[in-house]
Amino acid sequence: MKVNLMEMTLKEVRETGNPEVAILPWGSCECHNLHLPYGCDSLTVSAVAERSSIRAVQAGAKAVVLPTIPIGVNSDLFGFPLVLHLSPTTQLEILRDIVWSLEHHQIYKLLLINGHGGNNFKALAKQLYAQTKVRLFLCDWWKLVQEVAQQVCDDSGGEHGNEAETSWMIYLYPELVHLEWADSGQVKTPRLESLKKEEIWTARPWHFLTVNSGYGDPRQATFEKGEKIVEAAVEKISRIILELSLVVLDDSFPY
Q: How confident is the model at residue 203 (pLDDT cuts 50, 70, 90)?
A: very high
- Predicted pLDDT at 192: 97
Q: How confident is the model at residue 1 (pLDDT cuts 50, 70, 90)?
A: confident
Tell me what the mean pLDDT of segment 140-161 comes to. 93
> In the predicted model, is pLDDT for residue 244 greater than 80?
yes
Q: What is the pLDDT averaged over residues 180-202?
A: 96
pLDDT band at 56 (very low <50, low <70, confident <90, very high): very high
Domains and CATH numbers, the chain: 5-246 (3.40.50.10310)
Residue 225 has pLDDT above 80, yes or no: yes
Percent of the chain at pLDDT > 90 equals 97
pLDDT number for residue 160 = 95
pLDDT band at 23 (very low <50, low <70, confident <90, very high): very high
pLDDT band at 156 (very low <50, low <70, confident <90, very high): confident
- Using the predicted structure, report yes or no on whether residue 155 has a pLDDT greater than 90: no
| pLDDT band, residue 157 (cuts 50/70/90) | confident
Q: Express each pLDDT in 91-109 by its tens digit.
A: 999 999 999 999 999 999 9
Q: Does the pLDDT of residue 84 top 80, yes or no?
A: yes
Mean pLDDT of the chain: 97
Please provide residue 64's backbone torsions phi and psi, each rounded to the nearest 5 degrees: -140, 145
Average pLDDT rounded to a whole number, residues 34-54:
98
pLDDT at residue 186 is higher than 90: yes
Average pLDDT over residues 43-70: 98
CA-to-CA separations, 75 to 156, 159, 203, 212, 238, in angstroms, rounded: 26, 17, 9, 16, 32
